[in-house]
Amino acid sequence: MEKKIAVYICTGCGIGDALDIDALSKVAKGEFKVPICKTDGQLCGPEGVALIKQDIENDGVDTVVIAGCSARVNYDVFKFGSDKIVERVNLREQVIWCHTADDEDTQMLAEDYMRMGLVKQKNMNVPEPYHVESFSRNIMVLGGGLTGLTAALESAKAGYSTILVEKEAELGGYVGKMYKQVPMKPPFTDLEENCIPNLVKAVEDAGVKIYKSATVENTAGAPGMFDVTIKQDDGTVQERVGAIVLATGAKPYEADKLGHLGFGKFPNVITQSMFEEMAVAGTPEASKVAFIQCAGSRDQEHLPYCSAACCIESIKQALYVKEKNDEANVYVYYKDIRSNGQYEHFYMKAQQEGVVFVKGDVTEITEEDGKLTIEADDKTMGTTSLADEFDYVVLANGMVPTAALGDLMEEESTTDEAAAACDEPKASTPPIIKANLLNLVYRQGPELPALKYGFPDSHYICFPYETRRTGIYAAGVVRAPMDMLSAVEDGAGAAMKAIQCVEVTEKGEAVHPRSGDMSFPEFNMNRCTQCKRCTEECPFGAINEDEKGNPLPNPSRCRRCGTCMGACPERIISFKNYSVPMVGNMVKAIEMPEEDEEKPRILIFACDNDAIPALDMAGINHMQYNSWVRIIPLRCLGSLNLVWINDAMGRGFDGVLLMGCKHGDDYQCHFMKGSELAEIRLSKISETLDRLGLESERVRATTVSIMDYDKIPAMLDEFAADLEELGPNPMKDFQ
């Protein structure tokens, strides 16, 4: 069906003063023969919006191109229903606010953006949502500890039928076995009764379906249609669920490895959990007890990270001793007391109770007649301190996530083909540890990819709970070391994420970060060469494979980043509103001045998530930059297809710049490794460029975060200066 296009040019916010609007209208009316092209003084005002709505109603307009402000603002104003295509041409933030007014170059830039916008909408179609067959709204929580119980309770209270799977015979997990718990409410100073019995009762009353002594044999499918096989003593049960919360918790670090602190050597050197057991049985009368913090944690030879909960757990146990015997001497040896948030009050309470806190490293523990002696480097006094006559020494031995307990998944056996592929640079693949938790039937491996130290991947600031497997949300100490209060918050948070996932999947929309996106990749299987690049490079493991190596997409697992689209050498993967030809045609739509006009052109592929906002911010701050640049937003740099760069260089662009997010260990890429993949692909193109006689310096990749907006002008000017030194692209003459 032919599209009925209308172009609206806003002259507000100074656009009308800085640009020749008539010439701009001529581009739409003349070059592109757009039937409706109108201007308005304030398009986002009620009259402007009414104008557009009127044309939609009277003239059957179904494609609206709005030339005015950035697509990052007023998106709620320019909303005309899901069956209309709305394309925004950014004349404000990226043209008039950062380039000279009434200038030839600025006018050319605006006209090029108008052409790009018009070409873009030509290649766009209205996305049709993908609907999962026999969709399930159920939520499964794996792990019945504090986090898992909270998640199950929250999800059940929100009206979702919830399934809880617990490995042990009783619910409660590690916290369930505690004598008393750390304070969970103001004033955060007093020991509290264990909350687990009440929580278990609440979960049972809320109608959560509970499987005890059960493990997950395998998890197949995708969000909205996970098929989970649950193994119990008496056979297996199949459950279909929509989303999964992984709350399998952590295990205490193996104390046997702490021989240097006397564990195993002296019977009265015990671990926190052992002391907890003793407390449940009735705290033994003790007149002198020492707690040693960071026993294994923050130690390169053991656990390099801080286990986050041990400080306040030790303080709690110190108060057990004081509760029983007020006159008892209790010492806590610490590196730093990390009593996060409100737990500072709890720390102070212990100090008030007379617990002595010694800042220092324990150097030696010895025993005589059943009494222990501790020698330590006292950091406050700058000397050695000695303390003897201890009845017990309790080691705060930290925690290891259950996701880290298991063997590392081996790489696939190297065949000749694979060996050949090894020569090519490849993106780093996150390790997968066979921890026997989810047993995913995914091509990419049975568990969630691990981040540092074996915690399942999750960007702790931007997207907590999100893992690299859509629909599976990690919460509690399996995700990151944390105290009880944070674990409760985590359980609720992950349950909300799971609910969100179920809701949007039902509508056929993407989950975070492209929330609301209805498009998904479609594969033209006729031309597939079974190269497996899409299945390997998909950061979310959305694509499975059949025996022949054909990709089997799972649209509800997809985050719509387009990494597969960028990876495909045959270019058979496209979205309804985002495709290789679409961006390719946008590149071709940019007018290329002749060499003697001395107007170089720089093409920028900028990531939608950080680089585009940063460029907009540069505009908002009215920072001036080079007007030779033409910016094309990409969903993620991972969707960069090399053919675009080939096209651009062939058309005579003097340089191409890729602006993506930071990658590596502290990545900021919203799709985990998009910018990394783009850089790897780029390394392949430099060879081609060299062959064509073009300098490989003409194509560059850079990383910007949203806060780097002030560095953008310098970045672009520097690149332009370098290009000027290289001289114009010789390909210009062949046009």
Partner 1 sequence: MVTPDKERAAEQAVPHSFKKKRGDNYFMEQKKIFSEPVKYDLTFAREIYRLENGSYIKQCMNCGLCTVSCATRDVMEYPPRQLFNLIKLGKKEEVLTSNTFWSCTSCCTCKARCPRGIPIIDVMHDLKKYAIEYGYTDYPQAAFYKAFWTEMSSRGKMFEGGMTARYFLTRGLDEIVKAMDMKDVGISMLKHGRMPLLPPKKIKGLGGLKKIISKAQELDRKEAAR
Question: DSSP string of 266-327?
Answer: BTTEEEHHHHHHHHHTTPPP-SEEEEETTSSBT-TTSB-S--SSHHHHHHHHHHHHHHH-TT
- 146 by Cβ neighbours in 10 Å (0-12 / 13-18 / 19+) ranks as buried
Give the per-residue contact string, 318-347, with partner 1 (x = CB under 8 A; - = no): -----------x-x-----x---------x
Helix axes of 642-651 and 580-589: crossing angle, nearest 10 degrees: 20
Q: Which residues pair with 216 in a beta bridge?
A: 230
277 touching partner 1, by CB under 8 A: no
Min. distance of Cβ 337 from partner 1 in angstroms?
Answer: 7
In whole angstroms, the minimum distance from the beta carbon of 184 to partner 1 comes to 23
CB 342, min distance to partner 1, A: 14
**366 touching partner 1, by CB under 8 A:** no
211 three-class SS:
strand
Site membership for partner 1, residue 287 (CB under 8 A): no
15 to 54, contacts with partner 1 by CB under 8 A?
Answer: none
Query: What CA–CA distance (Å, rounded) separates 517 from 557?
Result: 13
Helix, strand, coil percentages (3-state) for the chain, rounded to 5, are 35, 25, 40
Question: Quick check: 414 binds partner 1 (CB under 8 A)?
Answer: no
Shortest Å distance, C-beta 336 to partner 1: 10
What are the backbone dihedrals phi and psi of residue 168, each rounded to the nearest 5 degrees, phi first? -85, 170
- Regarding 239 and contact with partner 1 (CB under 8 A), the answer is no
348 binds partner 1 (CB under 8 A): yes
- From candidates 23, 191, 274, 387, binder to partner 1 by CB under 8 A: 387
Rounded CA gap, 583 and 555, in Å? 22
For residue 246, the Cα-to-chain-centroid distance in whole angstroms is: 16
According to DSSP, the residues that pair with 87 across neighbouring strands are 65
Residue spans of alpha helices (H) in 223-281 = 272-280
Q: Work out which of 50, 184, 386, 462 binds partner 1, going by CB under 8 A.
A: 386
Task: For residue 383, report the phi and psi dihedrals to the nearest 5 degrees.
Answer: -150, 180
Q: Does 385 bind partner 1 (CB under 8 A)?
A: yes
Binders of partner 1 in range 512-531 (CB under 8 A):
none
Give min distance, CB of 359 to partner 1, in A.
6
Of positions 34, 309, 358, 657, contacts partner 1 by CB under 8 A: 358
Strands (E), 683-735: 699-703
Name the token pair of 683.
């390394």
- In whole angstroms, the minimum distance from the beta carbon of 635 to partner 1 comes to 46
CB of 294 to partner 1, least distance (A): 16
Total residues interacting with partner 1, rule: CB under 8 A: 25
Out of 232, 236, 383, 529, the only residue in the binding site for partner 1 (CB under 8 A) is 383
Q: 85 forms bridges with which residues in the sheet?
A: 63
CB contact set of 207 (below 8 Å; sequence gap of 6+) = 156, 161
Shortest distance (Å) from residue 357 CB to partner 1: 8
How far apart are CB 345 and partner 1 at their closest, in Å? 11
Q: Is residue 575 within the footprint of partner 1 (CB under 8 A)?
A: no
Nearer to partner 1, 352 or 526 (CB): 352
Q: Does 384 bind partner 1 (CB under 8 A)?
A: yes
Please name which of 274, 269, 263, 306 lies closest in space to residue 290, comparing C-alpha atoms. Answer: 269
Strands lying side by side in the sheet with 699-703: 629-634, 602-607, 655-660, 699-703
Return the number of the residue (58 or 352) whose C-beta is nearest partner 1.
Answer: 352
Residue 405 binding partner 1, by CB under 8 A: no
Told to check if 352 binds partner 1 by CB under 8 A, we report yes
Site residues for partner 1 per CB under 8 A: 329, 331, 337, 347-348, 351-352, 354, 356-359, 361, 363, 375, 377-378, 380-387
